[in-house]
Structure 1
Amino acid sequence: MSLKLGLIGHPIGHSLSPWIHTNFIDLAGLNGEYKLYEGDHTKLPEVIQHLKQMPIDGFNITVPYKQVIVDYLDEIDKDAEILGAVNTIVHQNGKWKGYSTDGEGYVRSLVEPYPNLLNKDTSVLLLGAGGAARGIYRAIVQKGVKKVDIANRSLDKAEALLSLKTGTTTTRIMSFQEAEQHLGEYDLIVQTTSVGMKPNVEDQIIQLHHLRKETVVSDIVYQPITTKLLQDAKNRGAIIHHGHAMLLYQAQLAFEIWTGKNLDVAHMVNELEQKLRGE
């Protein structure tokens, strides 16, 4: 059996997904390929029609198609339906079923190095309320943590995430300015926006004057590997968590959905970092 996998999006020419999944295929002892299927928004129907005619086992979806792909699916996983976005499709029994691996992939990337971080006493601050924040918020809340507060420029947009909440976790909505004053309350701070991404590497979403030492500060931006926020946090005695690990672990979960194989990929975090640095 030879796996046929791929990625749909635009632009995706520099995507590392082929490198990641080719390594996964080898690690699992399987045969197969992972190809790129690129097209702007006007070409999506053509790309989908092409894939429908292929014996493809599964594929990933990236921007700008994570929402519109839902219209082409036969089934959708409950969490993906709640989140309103899909990034992984599996082809089984002639049908396409959609999943979202971003949120759980992020949590996996976090608990691998810090297995005891997320528990009933953990307090979390989420910076941003966009698509990435939705998945991460829901996945962290499902771990049963004490609280996950959300800071955002638009408070209404942050409040929209409250519909994703489950269990007894509490959530407070606040501005970035308010969040800066309360940083000492949190065990984990997660930056979920594109602030600080290349080429705007000097941008920092909040100031860390009130940051508590030993707090874990995580940034999902992975270009640059160490954002200005992470460097500032490190200088203040915090523990930093890099965004490229999320890229790897959301891919791990997608591969698991496609093949049923749960691979140990911890050793690839440093390899991926070197790849991103061009080494």
Structure 2
Amino acid sequence: MSPHDQIFETHRPRLLALAYRMLGTRADAEDTVQDAWLRWRQADPADVRDPTGWLVATVTRLGIDRLRLASHARTDYVGPWLPEPLTIDDSPGPAGRAELAEQVSIAFLALLERLGPEERAAFLLREVFDYDYAHIAAMLGHGEANCRQMVHRARERVQAGRARFPEVAPERHRALLERFLHASSSGDRDAIMALLHADARLRSDGGGKAIAALRPLEGADRIARLYRAVARRAPHGTHWRLGRVNGELAGLRFVDGRLKSVTTIVSDGERILEVLNQMNPDKLRLH
């Protein structure tokens, strides 16, 4: 491997982390990094004074282009769109660093969907990857003042979405998730209702390839009635177990040994505020 190639491989994990947070799907993130690799191979090393800055800027611009295309494609998406898990582990073992799991939780990535492509890039570069505004301005081709304003607006929108998601002790989160999985798998409507906040919300991503609610459900009663109906029709060989999605504790539903859905929750420590179900088979791959 040439020194030029070695530089890229050294940066690949960071580039993939950025691309995934921007795009919300592993396939798009990997394709973006591959596109950056091809451009890197064509670049004259003598013209690249700052390899890290060059590579991050390239992935950022490619990611913005993909986000713009994705925004059009997702208008035709069947039902709610949720991010694709980067990692699915069918074991509830200890999570990695808590802040890392938070940065790639399905709920956090879904919040980023509120942001426009450049706004999202600026927010991630500043808040997650800790670049200063001079570097962000150079990468995005905007003035520093404009980038500050983009990050400020993005931060406000993300914080508004997070306002109802307080920090919860891991043991409380796990207990709520375990009780919810047990209640939903048995179809116990009263038990489900007792676990959900009155204004709880459910989003399920089936992508037109799995049976799922075609729009978000609002309210504990509607969600509980849905799970009761689903439990009654569950095929033989269905079982749930705890695992981790992007390092976050999740419920994994298997039918005859095949993964059919992953469920994550957001809670206030007492009640579940949001349920996120990823059911699109194209987005479910164990790692």
- Place the TM-score, normalised by the shorter chain, in its bin: under 0.3
Query: Whose Rg is larger?
Result: 2
- Of Structure 1 and Structure 2, the greater helix share is in 2
Structure 1 length as normaliser, TM-score?
A: 0.25
Bigger relative contact order, structure 1 or 2 (CA pairs below 8 A, ≥6 apart): 2
Structure 2 length as normaliser, TM-score?
A: 0.25
